[in-house]
Amino acid sequence: MTGGYSAVIAAQQASATAKNTWTTAVTVINPQALVTLPSNYLYLGKQLRVTAVMGVSNVITAQNQFTFQVMMGSIVAWSSGAIACNTAAHTLLPARLVVNLRVNTIGSGTSAHFIGSGQLSGIMWTYAAGADAATGACLLVPITTPAEGTGFDSTIANILDFWVGCQTSNAGNGVTVYEYYVEDLN
């Protein structure tokens, strides 16, 4: 183990602008919360924790799916996969995502990869169609076997970002990130 410390390396200072009426994943945090990881900052076994506290809205005309992504620039370094909302409508109800990432490989080109898993909580999420869970749902994500994300170049500086996509464009489907921070765990 190197370092032996834990530090917050990025934190959002104010709630982000609400995102809705979109399908392709977009950044959902404020620009000041972006963190540039310097070249060669990542090493084998390096661990980061990304936390987002959000308000999520969804309509009931279809069982919508949201996809959460940790990005290295424009590269999807980690994805939750498509997570379904249940069959009840919601307006900015609280949700929380905590993702633990570990650097699995490093290098130039597309050699570097994260692997990770997370916990997504909120009463709007479900593994299958159904109404709200009485006490809220806590899903382990991705809901498949964790796999390495898309490769990126760890020998150059990279901007760490947080994106969300929504299956159906509708003004009633949206995300507002209230709190966002990234922790360097080692």
Place of tokens 């990279």: 158
Whether 111 is in a domain gets the answer: yes
Could you tell me the residue range of the domain that residue 65 belongs to? 7-184
Contact by Cβ (8 Å): 25, 157: no
Give the count of domains, the chain. 1
DSSP 149: -
Q: Which residues pair with 116 in a beta bridge?
A: 101
pLDDT tens track for 100-144: 999 999 999 999 999 999 999 998 888 665 555 555 688 999 988
Whether 134 is in a domain gets the answer: yes
pLDDT tens track for 7-27: 999 999 999 999 998 999 999
CA 139, CA 126: separation in Å to the nearest integer?
A: 8
Res 154 pLDDT > 80: yes
Whether 160 is in a domain gets the answer: yes
Whether 155 is in a domain gets the answer: yes
Whether 139 is in a domain gets the answer: yes
